[in-house]
């Protein structure tokens, strides 16, 4: 009987240790790039509603990671429930993991506008499709003549965590 009690006690202690460890690691925050210094997040929809008012300004955004660059991890698409914006980082300086998709992120960087002519924009769209293993048909895309303007954040740092924390 004593051996059975010892086994049950050891099993209970081991189970409790696993539960505590999983609770600690579930809330783990992974840091990428520089430490975030902007305290208050700017809603993405506000940036996109008045991009010229934010150009060149350092902002912090928060939201869900909707997508991650599958080739180099050099960008994430962040959504706040109303809008989404791409956070582009310098290749090989910050690398976002593919499993960041579906997690929560706080990201910081400078709002920028990338202006492209039609042929550059088509090349950009083809590149995005290639990264995802998709095909892009420029002929069937109703793009207009351009110029095309993409608002994004030139990222300097991010904190990614699980949704549960």
pLDDT band at 15, cuts 50/70/90? very low
Q: Which pLDDT score, from 0 to 100, does residue 142 have?
A: 64
- Residue 27: the pLDDT is 66
Find where tokens 């083809």 sit: 126
Q: What CATH number does domain 30-161 carry, 2.40.50.200, 3.40.50.10790, 1.20.58.220, 1.10.1660.10? A: 2.40.50.200
Give the Cα separation of 16 and 25 in Å (integer): 14
Section 135-156 average pLDDT: 83
**Residue 116's closest CA among 152, 74, 150?**
150
DSSP string spanning 105-124? EEEEEEEEEEEE-HHHHHHH
Whether 57 has a pLDDT exceeding 90, the answer reads yes
Per-residue pLDDT reduced to its tens digit, 90-117 = 988 999 999 999 999 999 999 999 998 8
**Domains of the chain by residue range:** 30-161
């Amino acid at each position: 009987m004593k051996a059975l009690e010892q086994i049950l006690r050891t099993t209970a202690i081991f189970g409790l240790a696993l539960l505590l460890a999983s609770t600690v690691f579930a809330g783990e925050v992974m840091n990428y790039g520089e430490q975030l210094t902007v305290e208050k997040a700017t809603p993405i929809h506000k940036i996109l509603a008045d991009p010229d008012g934010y150009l060149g300004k350092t902002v912090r955004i928060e939201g869900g990671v909707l997508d991650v660059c599958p080739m180099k991890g050099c960008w994430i698409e962040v959504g706040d429930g109303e809008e989404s914006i791409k956070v582009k980082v310098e290749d090989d300086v910050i690398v976002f993991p593919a499993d960041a998709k579906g997690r929560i992120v706080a990201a910081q960087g400078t709002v920028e506008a990338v202006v492209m002519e039609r042929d550059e924009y088509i090349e950009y769209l083809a590149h995005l499709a290639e990264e995802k293993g998709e095909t892009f048909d420029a002929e069937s895309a109703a793009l207009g003549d351009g110029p095309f303007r993409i608002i994004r954040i030139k990222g300097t740092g991010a904190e990614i965590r699980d949704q549960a924390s």
